[in-house]
Every structure is written in C-alpha cells, then in structure tokens.
A and B are shown apart, each in its own frame.
Chain A
C-alpha cells in the first residue's frame, strides 16, 4: 500500500537506494529499481534528506499557524521533585544537565519547587547548579497534587517564559508534564537520554530511545517555546557542588482546594518496605533464568551479602517472584548503581535501557549467546544455582578477612 503523507516522484528516482539504507524502519524498499514506501514508514523524514535528486517529499498542506516569537523565551528551568519535603535525586541530576545547557545558552538556571517544609536547606539546589530558586510555598503542597502542579507550573511558565523546562520522567513528572505541555501548546519529549544545544540555533536536541530502545531518535522543537523534556532517573549525573549565594524567590499562590476535581480518599501503606532501587548503590537482579520462586531466595541472599537491593526483569515481576516496584527496564525503573548483577536475565533491549548506565555490571547466565553478555563488564557462563551459593560463601569469607 502507499503510505499517506510521503510521496516519491517515480520518474525522478534514479534507484540509488540511499533512501533504503537511510531508513531504520524498513519503510522504503526498491520495487523494479524504483523506491517505494511501505506501511512501516513512520514519516520520520530520514529518506527525504538522503535523496540526492530530491524526489522524496513529505506531503504537508499549507495551513495558517501562529508563529511564536522565540526571542521572548530565555532561561532554563528544572521543576524540582520531592516526596514530603525530601528532595529526590532526580532533581539534582536535572540540575547537573540544566547547568550545562544554561551555560551553553548563556542564561540562568532556575529551580522551581512546589512545597512547604523541606528536610534539607533549599540552598542545596543552588550548590548543585541553580542560580535562582522559585518556591511556591503552601501546606497543601507538602504532598504531590496533580491538578495544583498543572495549574501552578503552567502559570509560572506562561509568566516567566523559559526556553527549556526539564522535568523528571518519574510517576509524578509523567503525571503532570503532559497536561502542562498541552495547556501551553508546548512540545514535550519523554524519557530523554541525551540533551544538548544545537550549534547555530538555540534548539534543544533531545535524544530518546524508541521502539523499546532498539532505535534512538533525536527530537527537535524548532518553531515553538518552551521546549519541554522529561528525563528518567539516573540518566544524568549531578554536578560537583559549588559555593554560591543563591537567590530565593517565594511566590504566594492562592490555593482553593474546593475547586479541585480529584480528591484523595486515603493512603495505603504497603507492608513490604525496601529502598527505592533507583537510589541503591548495589543491585542484584533476577530474571526468568532463576527458574522458580524458591530459587529467587538465592538472589535475595546474594543481595544481602553485598548489602544491596533486589531487582528483577519484567518476566520475574510478571511471575510474581518480586514486587513490580523492583522491575528494572523500559516499563520499570532506570537504575545506575555502582554494581549491577544480572542473574538469569537474558538481556532484552528493554531490560538493558534500564541498567546500561550502571558503573559495573556482572552477568550470570547459562546461555553463552544471551545478549546480556554484550552489556556487562564481566560475564559468567554457567549454572547460577551452583555459582551464587559458592559466591555468597566466597564474599562472606572475604568479608571476614577484612
């Protein structure tokens, strides 16, 4: 079938096949030495640029659109995240990257925080990169509230017009950022793993995994502002701290809880309490290769021996061997511990994108061809039922040696 929106001038096509190799999606094929678009095409436009005779065009009807004066927008913002007054690591990671972007653009980096009482001094945000802090303070904001976050951040962004807004791709950030972007009619790119400023323009080049991490895409928001992006935990590193007098601006916001459409009925505490694996420095993860729930205890014992936390692949979570909050990967968490041990995890790309920023990776798998061996520093091919108990014993004896 002919794909909508993209047209090939069949008479002009020279059959050079540049477009075929430019396409990562199998969206162009040669039929009788003439390029033809297949149903795999997702209109990314890669082929358009590669065609030496300009015979591929994306069909775009001219429609009146409102042009935005981009020069009105200046500055980089990070929307801080906290849990009941404890600033999350993602905030410092975003400030680290935000500092680089602000320096490249020669503008200020502003941290925006919605909250009430905080465990640490808010000046910490300044030591970690922010030039200025905007605090919207209210007892109501001690806990996250979807509607209030959308209303307040939209108003602040609309008033101050930053050119870039960075938000954590956490359950909280993913909840409010899309509504803010819609209300502002601003482009939003999810789960960015790379952010940089394009030379010669002030555009933010936003790299993100797509197709489960099989493909990376670089996204631009060329014609509108602000450019909004979310970033998963442990993607960027905080900068080294600096001494600075940071400007703190408090904003009063009139909060009328009566108009909120969604009410919190109650909070249920979960019995099982463990450290959030996003913050862990050692993680031992198990996958389907662990074999059974009984064997999964080995993973826990090894984690204990290393003073670490337990993680799991999607399969291990689906089999109820481990709580879904401990899932590492595309649909779970992104982790970057000092040590990540993958036991009986084959290493599908969806898992790799969740752990590839780890400092050191050890993989144990009985299949020598498992893709996890491409994503580890040290690999062990063998039976984990034998290796893990022996390793626990070895760790214990090394520990006692001191």
Chain B
C-alpha cells in the first residue's frame, strides 16, 4: 500500500516580529521549517509502515527550496519525496493547490487503487485547514478531518475525532481515504543520523513540473484561484492599557474594585 503524506514548507512564524517603525515583518533570520502538524502526519504514516508495511511517500508543492522539507521527511523515514514545482503553480489558493496536488498524487499512484493520504490539520502560515478536504473531494475519496487517533485494520481506517469538547466520535472508512491529523495525534520521531545519511545517499526527491503531469492549465496557479489577495496590512494595536504597580495588597485591592465596578463580582 502507498501512504502519501502532503507536507508544506512554512516560515517559523512563532519567531516573527514586526518592525515598530516600518510596520512590516522582520524576516531576517527566520528559518523555513516543515509545518508542525505535517510532522504528525509523517509520524502517523511511518507508524502504519512499522506496523503493517507500506511505502511512505512525502509530497509537497512549492518553490525549489521546499525540497528541504521532503528531505526532512525522508530522514524521519519516508521512502521517497516528490516536489511539484513550476512557476505556473505559483500564486495558488487552496482550490488550485488541492487540484495540483491531486495531479501529483495520480502520477505517484500510477494506477494503484489502495492508498491513504495523510495531511496536517492546518499550516501555521495560512491556517485555512482547507487543502486536505478539498484534495479528498478532488480525488473523489472520503475524508476525515481533525483526527486525534487512527488505526489501520483490514483495509479500513478507524479514527477518533472530536467535534465537541466532551465527545469523541469513532469513524471508520475504507481505503482509499484522506485524513487530517492534529498536534495531539502523536509525538513525531526525530531523524536519526542513519536516517539523515540515507535521505541524502539512498533516497531521492523527484521534481515534477507542469509538463510532467496530466494537468488542466486553467485550474492551477493564479488562473485557477477563485480567491485573490487584494490587500495586506499589519493590524493596529487595539487597547490602551493601565499598568498597576506597587505592593501586592494594594494591587489586589485595585483589581477587586475594578472587578466590582464591572459587575464581575
């Protein structure tokens, strides 16, 4: 069985700061990383491989430097990596991205009908959580989102997911299928030294451009995007704050008064 893990290279934005003078992102020294939840997706695929045997393929769409995250996935244990890279793919919204990924998946499958696609729940730069389910729709396969736990049994995938705080639904579907996973799904393994060596020496990243795929050019990149970014801006700071200082008992008295005035006590 083939397990395809869709991964994305993102800026490590938890470290992003805004330049107070120019009000723009300070990007110097911000590393590009493998999207955190995509690591959980790779881990789940590898745990299925360990248990049942499978070929794990990492797939990404992006500029040539996105190759780095595919190598990282291979160092963790993925058997191979595919990078969809072409200037025509750029500027894609989630509809165009999911279409392009589906063309890559069809190429990788090469006619195989039993497969599983695993995606991270959402990427930390866009946060849309849309590409996974849209990709499943494009492929015409079932999708289960927000999966916290998953097992493979007899050609079926059994998942746990929560739509409510106090309730977990156990859902089962046959393969092929697509699931999206969360941070709490598992603890991603670290790449071993041997793993890193193998990623560079024994495995390879296959780059696929427009002409390598069977693809409808009207559905990719900017042309295939229904949504367009019209404007971007840095949000204004909203609140004017009062800072309380002094001995604890005085501060606490002031807080108590404020809470009482607000009708909160």
Contact = CB atoms under 8 A, between A and B. Distances in A.
Q: Which of B124, B239, B242 has the most CB of A within 10 A?
A: B239
A361 B258 CA distance: 11
Given A146-B143, A172-B163, 4 more contacts: A24-B24, A61-B88, A144-B163, A374-B237
Interface residues of A, number: 115
B101 to A, nearest CB: 12
Contacts of B174: 261
A62 to B, nearest CB: 9
Interface string B204-223: 00000000000001100111
B93 interface: yes
Contacts of B188: none
B133 A5 contact: no
Nearest to A357: B238
Contact of B255 (A182, A272, A381, A391): A391
Interface string B62-94: 011100000000000000000000111011011
Interface in A123-182: 144, 146-147, 150, 171-172, 174-179, 181-182
B142 A147 contact: yes
Interface string B139-175: 0001111100000000000101111111111111110
B129 A190 contact: yes
Chain B residues touching A, majority SS: mixed
Interface of A: 1, 3-5, 21, 23-26, 39-40, 43-46, 58-61, 63-65, 83, 144, 146-147, 150, 171-172, 174-179, 181-183, 185-191, 205-206, 209-224, 261-270, 272-274, 276, 282, 306, 318, 323-325, 330-331, 338-339, 348-350, 356, 360-363, 368, 373-382, 386-387, 390-391, 393-395, 398-399
A338 B220 CA distance: 45
A24 B234 CA distance: 8
A160 to B, nearest CB: 19
B252 A267 contact: no
B229 A217 contact: yes
B144 to A, nearest CB: 6
A146 B133 CA distance: 11
Q: Which 9 A-B residue pairings sit nearest by Cβ, starting from the closest?
A: A4-B87, A187-B226, A26-B27, A178-B133, A43-B91, A182-B137, A190-B128, A187-B227, A5-B90
Contacts of B194: none
Nearest to A323: B165
B226 A381 contact: no
A374 B166 contact: no
B193 interface: no
B251 interface: yes
- Give chain A's interface secondary structure class: mixed
Nearest to B259: A395
Contact of A174 (B145, B177, B248): B145
Interface string B16-29: 10100010111110
Contacts of A175: 133, 145-146, 163
A306 B265 contact: yes
Nearest to A324: B184
B256 A394 contact: yes
B27 A25 contact: yes
A319 B91 CA distance: 37
Given A23-B24, A187-B95, A215-B233, A276 B165 contact: yes
Contacts of B25: 24-26, 211, 214-215
